[in-house]
A and B are shown apart, each in its own frame.
Chain A
């Protein structure tokens, strides 16, 4: 399917969450990893799941680099906690047992900034109902790393796993809130575009929100979940459609979006479907469960703007069709970051 062959050197696009990154993982990093009786790296889901007695132990890890480290609505500390908590939640594991945190700091990094980042990690942990249980710190010379890199790993137990590959024709697609906030807020802040005022990152732990959705649905009612981070809603839905072998028809006008994001995206020529979100989930549900799940989401503070945005179809497996209200077109898989490094 992919015609991308790897070049001799790693480029920024290989980390952008699109086709190039998938090629890198498939062609290099998964080489020699055999599929086992667990859900492992070869599934390329949000995390791994290992059978422990009657339960599943879910493990996920994520390294965070963001430029700038402080952006409207959050900072790299909050991002590092939420990213991992949300990846666990996307596997159905909404009660994280604990997180690890490894930091790489650049010589000369301000102590004051580190204190702020640490405080926001603690705050995000409190919101998620978890804590950091161990960590590691390294300092590298000036210029050897760009300010700060934060890695977090999370573990959680769950009786039932939710995958990103279970969509079936007829399923509805729900997004839990407005799309594009994080990516455009960070882009505007990074390039000092002077339109930052109204743009705010949505970075938040959504394990509680996801727990409410799972509780509202009958067993098996939720068929797939994914957080639309790098590559945005387009990348998440492409992956879900391809792995589930269904087509997805999206209703553009049903996709929740703030006026600030809509305006900034039009101004910058960036497709808001291609930019990162850090406090949202895409949830596939059986048609009969859609209303119950939507009600539960909207009853939660982080899910007030949740909406049904699309339907899965048997035709055109792997493709994303956008109904614009005027006509229809395909949504391309993002090629790379519209602008590099935003999460």
Chain B
């Protein structure tokens, strides 16, 4: 078993010795910036998951602030979109969606609320499962509530291009990440000096897409993967670029990401979707941040096939606690879960107030699950205290 474990560590970029060397490098480079804190942002729930799961926050230099931005697709799905799904389900239309979407509240109700009232909602792991459900009951309409960034939007596009059954349609709440980085960079309160970009999204878009952004905002972008070594190496490179005041794009995930990306996937994505402006929960109106179906796909577009009666929800008042939720500021990187009066008290995974506590990719949920940003360095036998 020890051998197999050793093999696994090698394969999965999980070599603690190399990690220790990278942590030392990160501490050195951060100190060389000569002002603190240095604030950088990642825009991906999977990055936060890995950072938390491997306990990396406990070894990041104190002067380095690694902020999770709007990287949780469930969390940024905004009230009007959840309301559309809730209204459709209440109108008696059968819905399929990802489990995390069930508990996210719209202006007043969540899909779980209307499911308890008797609405029919199937939880699926992928859009292909939803298509299979639709094929099983050809006489009954089925709407897939599609959420997620360009990575999942590509899967939705492939299904739409693949001739789905006539009773199947899509309610798209897909989002496109690059424009929101512009919004965050332009926020007056922002402290963000550089971005760690999500490796899996870049496998599709290619890293070249960030060149214009870097030129406009003079802030470096580093594309990084999701193993501990990927993240640490990405951070070292990013802080080096901040230190050198060098606004460049660096690809630290070359085993998966090219400059052009996956051209076929991009072609499918833009054949099916067009970007339009729209609100992201807690952030703002994001120009070109929402992906909607193009006119030629009206036949699979739930917004055009059904009369969605969102106004029917306007009589229901949201729970009082929702007023105190600061998910929006957390996703914008202005606040952290520690700043929230509800975090870990009224707001817990099994009684979530805000979207960030609902999703397994939400900042609050991850911080709750893995202990957030604990100061554990003071405990005896800190391995890095010895090695540093």
Determine if chain A interacts with chain B: yes
- Which residues of A pack against B, CB within 8 Å? 3-4, 13, 20, 247, 249, 253, 256, 258-259, 262, 269, 305, 311, 313, 315-316, 321-332, 335-336
Question: Is B319 engaged at the interface, CB distance under 8 Å to the other chain?
Answer: no
Complex CA gap A249/B382 in Å reads 10
Nearest-Cβ distance from residue A16 to partner chain B, whole angstroms: 10
User: B379 and A327: CB pair below 8 A?
Assistant: no
B19 sits at the interface (CB 8 A): yes
Report whether B350 and A326 are in contact in the complex, using a CB–CB cutoff of 8 Å.
no
Residue among B4, B55, B381 with the most chain A CB within 10 A?
A: B55
Chain B window 36-65, contacts with chain A (Cβ cutoff 8 Å), 1 for yes, 0 for no: 000000000000000011111111000000
Contact check, A327 vs B58: say whether CB atoms are below 8 A apart.
yes
Inter-chain contact B360/A329, CB cutoff 8 Å: no
A4: which B residues are within 8 A, CB to CB?
348, 351
| B350 contacts A335, C-beta separation under 8 Å | yes
- Contacts of B307-351 to chain A: CB distance below 8 A: 344-346, 348-351
- Nearest-Cβ distance from residue A253 to partner chain B, whole angstroms: 8
The answer to whether the Cβ of B380 comes within 8 Å of any Cβ in the partner chain is yes
CB distance from B52 to the nearest CB of A (A): 6
Residues of B in contact (CB 8 Å), total 39
B378 on the A face (CB < 8 A):
yes
Q: Chain B residues with Cβ under 8 A from A327's Cβ? A: 23, 54-59, 384
CA distance A87 to B1 in the complex (A): 29
Beta-carbon contact of A20 and B57 below 8 Å = no
Given A324-B54, A325-B14, A326-B14: 10 more A-B contacts, CB < 8 Å: A3-B348, A249-B381, A253-B16, A305-B1, A321-B374, A323-B55, A323-B383, A327-B55, A330-B370, A332-B371
| Chain B positions within 8 Å of A20 at CB level | 350
Binding site for A on B (CB under 8 A): 1, 4-5, 8, 14, 16, 19, 23, 52-59, 228, 344-346, 348-351, 360, 368-372, 374, 376, 378-384
From the candidates A259, A316, A335, name the one contacting B4 in the complex (CB within 8 A): A259
Given known contacts A3-B346, A259-B4, A330-B374, A325 and B379 CB-to-CB distance under 8 angstroms: no
Question: Are A329's CB and B349's CB within 8 A?
Answer: no
A144 nearest CB across to chain B (Å): 23
**B370, A324: Cβ atoms closer than 8 Å:** no
Q: Complex: how many Å from CA A20 to CA B348?
A: 12
Contacts of B14 in A (CB 8 A): 325-326
| Contact sample, A vs B, 29 pairs, CB 8 Å cutoff | A3-B345, A3-B346, A13-B350, A311-B381, A315-B378, A315-B379, A315-B380, A321-B374, A323-B55, A325-B14, A325-B16, A326-B55, A326-B228, A327-B57, A327-B58, A328-B376, A328-B382, A329-B52, A329-B53, A329-B55, A329-B58, A329-B370, A329-B376, A330-B371, A330-B376, A332-B368, A332-B371, A335-B348, A335-B349
